């Protein structure tokens, strides 16, 4: 199935481009080379060490990220409330983490770890639907989107958050490419699934076109996008979602797995370096 072939790809295929594109800083060059500069958020800075960051030159609102893994995002909505000493400690902890060792995601092991600061996107159009940006996650196989998963009320480390945001509960939904809600293909508990279909994004056709281009070099990849105030923005490229988490039903994993042709995959030439 999909997960079995993904494990094979991690071990035997050339994942050098995976490493470049899983790097939340270096992937910006890949997006540029694909002709999609307009979907990138503004980059305020990139640093090897948190002590190098001059917070005084950053705007009042921004996002801090580690470039090498999952769950390392700090949303700063009000810089005046930022505890800079504690923030530096948090960022140093993030950079010490060799993400991907426990979950066997070798393409993450040798990312040159950095902290980046980016523009904070604020979506006035959809703020009544989600306390966070709505994440549109497109599972792609052979350069074609297969399934879209939406994620609402994402929980990040937030400075200057409101009480409503803190109380919001995470929700997910799965859709086919005709924007039909497909709850039967998700393995999440019903309480974590959206109760009703979200409105189809106004830029959905553009999102599909972007996904086809960005995913074309890879047997499979998840393309994460946002629609903010009727404009598409890039989130990230994810090659091993949750380290092969069982998001979907067995039927969907089998269907997507059948479409992955391993015979034409470029094989790894170098051994793993931990």
**What's residue 188's pLDDT?**
72
**What's residue 145's pLDDT?**
98
Q: Is residue 267 part of a domain?
A: no
The residue range of the domain holding 187 is 2-262
Question: Would you tell me how many other CB atoms lie within 10 Å of the CB of residue 131?
Answer: 20
What distance in Å separates the CA atoms of residue 125 and residue 202, rounded to the nearest whole number? 11
Q: Is residue 274 part of a domain?
A: no
**What's residue 162's pLDDT?**
54
Q: Is residue 271 part of a domain?
A: no
Q: Is residue 66 part of a domain?
A: yes
Q: Is residue 273 part of a domain?
A: no
Asked if 181 contacts 197 with a C-beta cutoff of 8 angstroms, the reply is yes
**What's residue 163's pLDDT?**
44
Q: Is residue 10 part of a domain?
A: yes
What distance in Å separates the CA atoms of residue 239 and residue 3, rounded to the nearest whole number? 11
Q: Is residue 269 part of a domain?
A: no
- Residue 202: which CATH number? 3.30.470
**What's residue 191's pLDDT?**
66
Q: For every one of its 274 residues, what pLDDT tens digit does the chain have, with 9 covering 90 and above?
A: 999 999 999 999 999 999 999 999 999 999 999 999 999 999 999 999 999 999 999 999 999 999 998 889 999 999 999 999 999 999 999 999 999 988 899 999 989 999 999 999 999 888 888 888 999 999 999 999 999 999 999 877 788 765 444 556 889 999 999 999 999 999 876 668 888 899 999 999 999 999 999 999 999 999 999 999 999 999 999 999 865 567 899 999 999 999 999 999 999 998 777 6
- By C-alpha distance, which of 182, 152, 147 is closest to 165? 152
Residue 197 token pair = 């279909």
Structural domains in the chain (count): 1
- By C-alpha distance, which of 226, 206, 213 is closest to 30? 213
* pTM score: 0.94
What distance in Å separates the CA atoms of residue 147 and residue 162, rounded to the nearest whole number? 32
Q: Is residue 229 part of a domain?
A: yes
**What's residue 95's pLDDT?**
97
E-state strands within 42-109: 43-47, 62-66, 73-76
């Amino acid at each position: 199935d999909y997960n079995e072939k993904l494990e094979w790809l991690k071990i035997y295929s050339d994942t050098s481009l995976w490493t470049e594109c899983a790097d939340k800083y270096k992937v910006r060059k890949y997006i540029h080379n694909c002709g999609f500069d307009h979907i990138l958020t503004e980059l305020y800075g990139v640093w090897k060490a948190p002590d190098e960051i001059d917070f005084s030159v950053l705007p009042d609102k921004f996002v801090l990220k580690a470039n090498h893994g999952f769950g390392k995002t700090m949303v700063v909505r009000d810089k005046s409330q930022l505890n800079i000493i504690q923030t530096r400690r948090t960022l140093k902890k993030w950079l010490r983490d060799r993400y991907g060792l426990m979950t066997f995601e070798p393409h993450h092991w040798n990312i040159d770890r950095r902290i980046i600061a980016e523009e904070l996107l604020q979506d006035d159009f959809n703020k009544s639907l989600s306390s966070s940006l709505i994440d549109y996650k497109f599972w792609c196989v052979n350069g074609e989107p297969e399934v879209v998963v939406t994620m609402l009320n994402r929980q990040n480390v937030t400075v200057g958050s409101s009480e409503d945001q803190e109380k919001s509960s995470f929700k997910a939904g799965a859709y086919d490419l005709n924007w039909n809600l497909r709850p039967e293909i998700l393995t999440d508990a019903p309480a974590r699934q959206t109760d009703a279909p979200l409105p189809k994004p106004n830029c959905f056709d553009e999102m599909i076109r972007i996904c086809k281009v960005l995913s074309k070099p890879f047997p499979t990849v998840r393309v994460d996008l946002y629609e903010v105030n009727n404009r598409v923005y890039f989130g990230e490229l994810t090659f091993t979602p949750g380290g092969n988490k069982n998001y979907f039903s067995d039927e969907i994993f089998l269907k997507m797995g059948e479409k992955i042709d391993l015979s034409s995959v470029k094989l790894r030439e170098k051994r793993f370096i931990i």
